[in-house]
Copies of this chain bind each other. A is one copy, B any other.
């Protein structure tokens, strides 16, 4: 191979370089001929430089130029010259100059491309993933992978600066019953035994606190064998963090500092030094979600106080049924919230058509609402009128209701009632989210800069009652610290217990989850017991953690922001596949290398395994 090593890159040359002889290496991005002159846009990671082959170029060079097609990889020697003012391209960093070609070596040819580079949005995902090496050449993928790299480094820079150690935890661990399904790795040396891949380094980071490392982090690969759904990947990356001798607020402010550094360093955006904090209950009551998009407010309100004054029987029935369920549950020692009627005031949307409202109702029904009631506000600010929908049941209370809700003439009221308050909240909350998207309330600010609205959700319930299995289960996971005031009465009313858990929410996505952990073996055993985990099984599965806690475990807690999702949101994308170099498709398959795939029988034999194919269904 004739070597013509680059002396500079395709993004570096400026007018000041005029007259220099340079060698560039890169790819033919575009080539066009114009009156006997060839123009080649030569591309590498650093930029694009225009190369000109004059009409009087030597025959040998001209012949090579004629061969060039898009994405040929070439080495090119030439002289830098300024473009005439009229030809300067202000959109290219190198737009003031061009390179007059003198010599060319074709380093590698390219076959006809399955799609043009930089047309990613036009190309089907499956094709993009099959030819990921071409897809990754696009400006968008190059920019996003670069951003991911910058975010990862900003994380490390800040964490190390704060005295954290990055410590690698094992990928081969013991299978535990916690959370989703484990991916397993059969052991060849121990027939019938398996390693599991970690769903997160949870137990190991707690062990590191027991070991006295005080401040740990790791950008860690995690694995969950879940059914293909939405944007899930078999493997994903989280910024795993744990600290000793801290309380909840220490973790929160550390995370605020980390996010502030990342956004400042990579996007040049200032975040507020402290993020909003909402209790789980507040978030559910106001936004019907524990991950509300706060780029707009438009909160839900309680319509309950007006129900008795009106004459709409369905609302009254929902509340009465809720009260009955609550009383029945109370008799079994379980606290329920009762029923609820929630209302959303949509400013200025009294002009919504019946069809538009029906679309919103369909959204509400996905989340188990029985229907979406509505009224429109008319009249004046001091003498409002309710019209349409269920207005007739509340007509004589219009002014009181609109004043109470802060609704103005021209506003649309949307209502959901249910005997389970949570259903009313979640269903109407999903209507709020849809409206946010439909009305563009979640777009960039007036200056066109994307908005990043962080919030903390705190005070989560520690336990949820599983109706099907008729038992309490951990709402989050079993190692979270019940807030101190509930310790005495844990077993008496598990449903009321709040934990020191917290979620970090960004633009409607859950970005991070964390908690203060239980460091006390006795308290941990009580939790295991409440969720019905047999002490023997707990010992067998988590034995090494409970064992470790016998030797002076410190109080500790942590959090784990998802790196894929963080970078996705920063890049303004809606799929994590856009920020992963080699993602699997939505069916956990990599079309590029066709994996998962068959393996040799010899490999199975060595692993002491036989495949048991499921019966074929016709």
Listed in ascending order, the chain A residues whose CB lies under 8 Å from chain B are: 1, 3, 5-6, 25, 27-28, 43-46, 71-73, 75, 107-111, 113, 131-134, 136-137, 142, 145-146, 148-149, 152-153, 156, 160, 165-175, 181-197, 203-204, 207-208, 210-215, 221, 223, 225, 227-228, 234-235, 237, 244-247, 484, 519-520, 543-544, 548-555, 580-582, 584, 587-590, 592-599, 603, 605-614
Contacts and interface: CB of A to CB of B under 8 A. Distances in A.
B552 A110 contact: yes
A548 B71 CA distance: 12
A611 B611 contact: no
Contacts of A210: 133
Nearest to A523: B1
Nearest to A146: B165
Nearest to A152: B166
Given A44-B214, A133-B548, A174-B593, 7 more contacts: A75-B245, A133-B211, A172-B584, A174-B594, A175-B595, A184-B603, A189-B588
Q: How many copies does the complex hold?
A: 2
Given A184-B185, A588-B189, A582 B169 contact: yes
A604 to B, nearest CB: 9
A153 B149 contact: no
Of A131, A247, A554, most buried by chain B (CB within 10 Å of CB) is A554
For the complex, would chain A's binding face be called helix, strand, loop or mixed by DSSP majority?
loop
A213 B607 contact: no
Given A185-B197, A186-B186, A107 B44 contact: no
26 contacts: A5-B245, A45-B213, A71-B552, A107-B554, A107-B555, A108-B554, A111-B551, A137-B211, A137-B212, A145-B165, A148-B167, A148-B168, A168-B580, A170-B584, A171-B171, A173-B595, A174-B593, A174-B594, A175-B599, A181-B606, A184-B599, A192-B611, A193-B597, A605-B612, A608-B612, A608-B613
A172 to B, nearest CB: 6
Nearest to A27: B552
A551 B160 contact: no
A165 B193 contact: no
B581 A208 contact: yes
Contacts of A584: 170, 172
Given A136-B208, A544-B593, A603 B168 contact: no
A595 to B, nearest CB: 4
B190 A596 contact: yes
B221 A581 contact: no
Contact of A160 (B153, B190, B581): B153
Given A142-B212, A610-B610, A612-B609, A168 B237 contact: yes
Nearest to A591: B544
Contacts of A587: 189
Contact of A599 (B134, B194, B244, B612): B194
Contacts of A598: 192-194
A184 B598 CA distance: 11
Of A109, A184, A208, most buried by chain B (CB within 10 Å of CB) is A184
A211 B183 CA distance: 30
A145 B170 contact: no
B3 A187 contact: no
Of A170, A174, A580, most buried by chain B (CB within 10 Å of CB) is A170
A586 to B, nearest CB: 11
A610 B611 CA distance: 6
Nearest to A187: B596
Nearest to A595: B174
B25 A245 contact: yes
Contacts of A551: 71, 110-111, 113, 131, 133-134
Of A111, A174, A181, most buried by chain B (CB within 10 Å of CB) is A174
Nearest to A554: B73
A128 to B, nearest CB: 12
Nearest to A520: B108
Nearest to A203: B593
Nearest to A521: B108
B247 A3 contact: yes
A141 B166 CA distance: 14
A170 B71 contact: no
A498 to B, nearest CB: 16
Nearest to A611: B192
Contact of A170 (B72, B108, B590): B590
